Amino acid sequence: MADVAERGQRIVREFLRRQGEADAPPSPDPLNIGNAFMEMTARLMTNPASVVQAGIGFWQDYLTLWQNTARRMLGGEVQPVITERRGDKRFKDDAWRENEVFDFIKQSYLLSSRYVTNVVHGAEGLNPKTAQKVDFYTRQFTDAMSPSNFWLTNPEVLRKTAETGGENLLKGLSNLLSDLERGHGRLRINMTDESKFRIGENIAVTPGKVVYRNALMELIQYTPTTETALKRPLLLLPPWINKFYILDLRPKNSFVRWAVSQGHTVFVCSWVNPDENLAEMGFEDYMRLGPYAALEAIEKATDERQVNAIGYCLGGTLLASTLAHMAKRNDDRIASATFFTTMLDFEEAGELGVFIDEEQLQAIEAKMSKRGFLEGSEMADTFNMLRANDLIWSFVVQNYLLGQEPFPFDLLFWNGDSTRMPARMHSFYLRRMYQQNDLVKPGAIELDGEALDLRDIRLPAYILATREDHIAPWKSSYKATGIFSGPVRFVLAASGHIAGVVNPPDSGKYSHWVGTGDAPAEPAEWFEHATEFAGSWWPDWQRWILAQDRATVPARQPGAGGLPALEDAPGSYVKVMAGD
């Protein structure tokens, strides 16, 4: 207890010191939530009957719940008034169903959540963006108020408290203080045991060499495991919102290692974790020092002019922009393009659009103007809010209420290894693409002297989307099938933005859907006629790549060509942490 008190005082002192150093007081509503809910309230006041009707329905259900609970306590059999959605992990403990009190608490919460949601949805005439924001933050509120998040109303926590004499709560408080210390007074939830992972030692361990480096990226060439390799090298452009080793976590789930085993000469752009010195780096700099620089380096290393390219998420947006730029200059060095969970048309950007309005963009730009970059933790917080129950509240319960130590999990280690965003690039990306959707407007965006038109992209394209993607909704990714002018193969994988992509064939997880014939205009029509196949989509992609060009050459060793090896993979850039 003395240790807890001393650490708590230290955190408060650090917090007050940081507040004193701030140039201006923080905005009371940085997410611009107040205006959205004021507009919703005004709309509801014009139609009070809908509110009254929702309230009547709520109290009728609640009265039924009271009656059912009373009958159940007297030994009667009753059916629940409301049940949690299938797979809701918050109520997995048996006591939520078997104990009358906790069953009542759970159903009370579910009824209240449904009532609040129904009232919000009853506000007619809202601007779609405002309606989306109201809906999103209403769900954030109802998720936060779940009885599973409070020790007095969580049966598992109460049981643990009785078993340990409250030691779990003291341990949980210690965990909370540790997370506040790691965040220098700002809560940074520890999702995994980070001490169990070392980049280059037990994560991102596929053998290779850094063969090229510039201010924005290191180019890694991986060591072959086959005697021959496909003639065309493979260039991977991961997003710089996160680090590249999502594609090289462990040997068993590494897309990089698997691609090498399939005969690809694999090159990966490992992006720098930028600081204030790179504040003026723009999107065109990422194009020039990323794919363009990589193409020149690959040709020197392999004597091959043409490559197959893959872009993941923001890396896919960069790839498409580069292809449109290359089309203007009749540059055909990229022979085929693959897009993993990539948005090009941002009109329906999903729930990330909640964070893109003028007020929030101005607040973000004000922060970046002072520091020269967007802090990686701020970006991570945004993504975590998209899946708050899984990525926030479950850890609150496990770490702070149950007092458990986080389990070592490679994916969550990567998720916590956030990266910064250069101010100029990030402002351009948010405004020109998310807010204004200029990328799909012919000629609206100019990069390095060329006005981009995605319709100029005529090479074969493989587009992978994931069905439960919270970051790049699959129906938005599908729109690329109607933009590109070349042959397109669209594949939809089960699961989400990460698990749907990082799904090796040996895992036996998740299915994927493949269409036949030309892609229809509407994604729902495509899905209706698509065929579902069990397991990973990786073999389907490999067959598609081989159909483009099967020519092979002797396998190429990193550093043996025109570019010397600079250091072992995974290089130096990936090891720079956001807090460094």
Backbone angle region of 217, left / alpha / beta, with phi > 0 → left and psi within -120 to 50 → alpha: beta
Nearest Cα neighbor of 241 from 431, 471, 411 is 471
Q: How many residues are recorded in the chain?
A: 580
Say how far apart CA 45 and CA 441 lie, in whole Å: 39
Nearest Cα neighbor of 456 from 474, 435, 442 is 442
Map 72-105 to HEC letters.
HHCCCCCCCCCCCCCCCHHHCCCHHHHCHHHHHH
Q: 219 CB contacts (<8 Å, ≥6 apart)?
A: 210, 211, 212, 213, 267, 268, 269, 270, 293, 294, 297, 298
321: tokens are 């922009």
Q: 183 CB contacts (<8 Å, ≥6 apart)?
A: 377
Nearest Cα neighbor of 360 from 12, 5, 30, 24 is 30
Nearest Cα neighbor of 296 from 217, 203, 405 is 217
Active site residue 269: no
Beta bridge partners of 309: 235, 337
Tell me, what amino acid is at 438?
D
27-35: which pairs have CB atoms within 8 A and are 24 or more residues apart?
27/363, 30/360, 30/363, 31/137, 31/355, 31/360, 32/133, 32/357, 32/359, 32/360, 33/133, 33/137, 35/359
Characterize the bridge pairing of strands 217-222 and 266-271.
Answer: antiparallel
Say how far apart CA 509 and CA 535 lie, in whole Å: 5
Of 313, 352, 392, 502, the active-site residue reads 313
Nearest Cα neighbor of 335 from 154, 228, 459, 430 is 459
Say how far apart CA 502 and CA 248 lie, in whole Å: 9
Tell me, what amino acid is at 279?
A
Characterize the bridge pairing of strands 488-493 and 461-466.
Answer: parallel
CA 519 to chain centre: 27
Catalytic site residues?
313
